[in-house]
Chains A and B, each alone.
Chain A
């Protein structure tokens, strides 16, 4: 295929895309209008299941199957990254670096020490109240995993390695995904649909409400927290522990 033909194919494709895109834009409702059919139905369905946070209701109840798919995608990408980033035979482990070699400013250490418990607490809170206030398992899990890496930022990679027995986090990730599937199968058995909301709904806006939503949110939190820790660990190991080709 020569250059002119390639430009021709690209031009045709681009022109077609431009026409379709313009047509799609012309058919969009105006910005910030009052008519939201999907919102009305979603809010109605969320209130029927006594879920205060409608977004969580969509994620973990109305469209829980999509979230399950996303969980599996995350699991797949973490496994893939771990396989790609494993130390190859041409790499060798470096001797532990001199602790004095990389001095971190005291202000950074102080900030990390103060922020570490705060971040972990916020992460737990975001997971636990996902069905009531903005947040949920995914957001809380990422916040938790990021918070732990403040230890690395504060210059204490050995401390991070101590609180990070990787096998435990790998276990957490898989157990999280498995836990997500368990209420799903229970829903299949009791409610006739995979991931049907079969638990009692409880009282609106109380901690024990919304049926399976907080359970699934917790499962996602465990899975995402473990997954992000394992993922970042592969990058950290490559960057800090192994030296390149000999």
Chain B
């Protein structure tokens, strides 16, 4: 049972990582990166590491995508 849960979580992380890689537009990539961050947090939770999962949700799913979005926005505006 618990092995099945780990396998499903790992598969979701793999799919999420693939989605981040095949997304070309950096703005959309920030969104898929955020989803990937949540999936990674689920994996950490399944592997009984709730402390790491909390950090992952806060940093990987919220702060990093926000920084990517703001950076891309600044670059695009300055290019015009």
Contacts and interface: CB of A to CB of B under 8 A. Distances in A.
A205 interface: no
Interface in A70-89: none
A232 B67 contact: yes
**Interface size grouping (class) on chain B:** 10 to 19
B27 to A, nearest CB: 13
9 contacts: A134-B51, A134-B53, A139-B54, A142-B55, A143-B54, A146-B62, A238-B74, A239-B77, A244-B78
Interface of B: 50-51, 53-55, 58-59, 62-63, 66-67, 70-71, 73-74, 77-78
Given A135-B51, A143-B58, A228 B74 contact: no
Nearest to A54: B51
B77 A244 contact: yes
Interface of A: 53, 55-56, 126, 134-136, 138-139, 142-143, 145-146, 149, 228, 231-232, 235-236, 238-239, 243-245
A139 B58 contact: yes
Contacts of A231: 67
Contacts of A243: 77
A126 B54 contact: yes
Given A134-B50, A235-B67, A142 B58 contact: yes
